Amino acid sequence: MLFAAALRASPMAEFGPFKWVGAELDHRRAAPRRHNEAVPPDSRLARKGANLESAATLVASTRVPMAQPLTDARFVTSAADVRKLGICHAEVAFVGRSNVGKSSLLNALANQNQLARVSKTPGRTRLINVFLTGPDRWIVDLPGYGFATGPAAERATWQAMVEGYLTGRATLRMVFVLVDAEVGPTKLDHAMIEWLRVEGLPHRIVATKADQVKPSKALKQRKDVAAELGLQPGDIAWVSAGKGTGIPELRREVADLLAL
Ligand SMILES: Nc1nc2c(ncn2[C@@H]2O[C@H](COP(=O)(O)OP(=O)(O)OP(=O)(O)O)[C@@H](O)[C@H]2O)c(=O)[nH]1
Ligand SMILES: [Mg+2]
């Protein structure tokens, strides 16, 4: 029982047809240039001695930057029952108490404002929400726990849904457990982390809303939150979806886990 006690444009397109590079390679077509005249970057290949090797170097050095991983994420499906979900190559999931910032973090990682629904009202995410990134990789946003105002039957539904998902996915590479950076781990966070440990599910703590912690207290808060979980400060990812703190690092980590 989960909470018995509590609940990514071809870069070549930028250079046009290959013929263009060939024409620039033919130095007889290039206008004569005075000694010491600066060579405009785009005409570098017109110099005497230019060869195919330098053409390749130019192509490589002016390549447009690759898109950031995860920014291609798009919503695929919602489900209450893990058995209704299809298969994927690899996935990661976000869990945490209601309102801790799971959906906001997903939006920040995907660099999109309205991918996952964000709300001040706890309990906004009510189903298992699946987002596709790259070839067959999923990011899963789960409904939050500790939505105390819900009826007991609703909490039981939550438990069956989240526990079913977490134990039912062989492709689940990491469970990111979100903990409020300022509040620290709650009883339910402790219960979730302990349950993941007992189940042998790979998990990583992410402290959210780091912008809410005064800079003067940040260092101590990092130490305290880590100590309370029996961890070192470096074991916890410290992020702010609002300010973007720690987002590129976590994006890279998720992309690596998903082999993107
Ligand atoms: N200051 C601050 N507020 C944040 C941050 N991330 C989220 N919030 C706010 O926290 C509230 C809850 O955010 P959500 O992303 O909806 O939280 P959730 O964990 O998905 O909530 P549920 O779907 O109810 O489980 C919203 O009002 C967000 O604007 C952050 O990094 N900094
Ligand atoms: Mg949510």
Mean pLDDT of 172-199: 97
Which atom in ligand 1 lies closest to the alpha carbon of residue 107?
Answer: 15
More confident residue, 54 or 238: 238
pLDDT at 67: 86
Query: What pLDDT is stored for residue 173 in this prediction?
Result: 98
Of the spans 47-51, 54-58, 150-154, 172-176, which averages the highest pLDDT? 172-176
* CA–CA distance, 255 with 92 (Å, rounded to integer): 10
pLDDT value at position 54? 61
d(CA 171, CA 229): 26
CA angle 158, 163, 167 (to 5 degrees): 155
pLDDT of residue 194: 98
For helices 247-257 and 102-110, give the axis angle rounded to 10 degrees. Answer: 80
Say yes or no to pLDDT of 27 above 50. Answer: no
Candidate from 50-59, 139-148, 176-185, 209-218 with smallest mean pLDDT: 50-59
**Contact 97 CB / ligand 1 (< 6 Å):** no
In three-state secondary structure terms, 245 is: coil
Question: Would the CB of 150 count as within 6 Å of ligand 1?
Answer: no
For atom 12 of ligand 1, the residue with the nearest CA is 99
The predicted model gives 241-252 an average pLDDT of 98
Ranking 36-45, 58-67, 114-123, 241-250 by mean pLDDT, the lowest is: 36-45
CA distance 259 to 252: 10
Q: What is the 110 CA–ligand 2 centroid distance (Å)?
A: 15
pLDDT greater at residue 66 or residue 77: 77
48-56: list long-range contacts, CB under 8 Å, 24+ apart: 50/24, 50/25, 51/25, 52/25, 55/21, 55/24, 55/25
Q: Which two tokens stand for residue 127?
A: 């189903």
Confidence of residue 47 (pLDDT cuts 50, 70, 90): low
Check pocket membership of 240 for ligand 1, CB cut-off 6 A: yes
- Between these two residues, 239 and 39, which has the higher pLDDT value? 239
Q: Give the three-state DSSP class for 217.
A: helix
Q: At what angle do helices 152-167 and 187-199 cross, to 10 degrees?
A: 30
Per-residue confidence (pLDDT) for residue 156, from 0 to 100: 84
Residue 240 CB-density burial (10 A; 0-12 exposed, 13-18 middle, 19+ buried)? buried
Is there a contact between 50 and 21 (Cβ–Cβ < 8 Å)?
A: no
Supply 1's token pair.
């029982």
| Amino acid 19: pLDDT | 27
Mean pLDDT in residue range 158-184: 96
Tokens (6 digits) for 205: 């703590």
The mean pLDDT of 157-173, rounded to a whole number, is 95
pLDDT at 43: 47
pLDDT at 55: 58
Per-residue pLDDT at 141: 95
CA angle 196–156–199, rounded 5-degree value: 15
More confident residue, 122 or 64: 122
Q: Determine the residue of 95, 103, 104, 183 to mutate for testing ligand 1's pocket, defined as the one with the most ligand atoms within 8 A of the Cβ atom.
A: 104
Q: What is the pLDDT of residue 51?
A: 60
Mutation choice for ligand 1 from 118, 179, 180, 247, CB with most ligand atoms inside 8 A: 118
Residue 148: which pLDDT band, with cuts at 50, 70 and 90? low
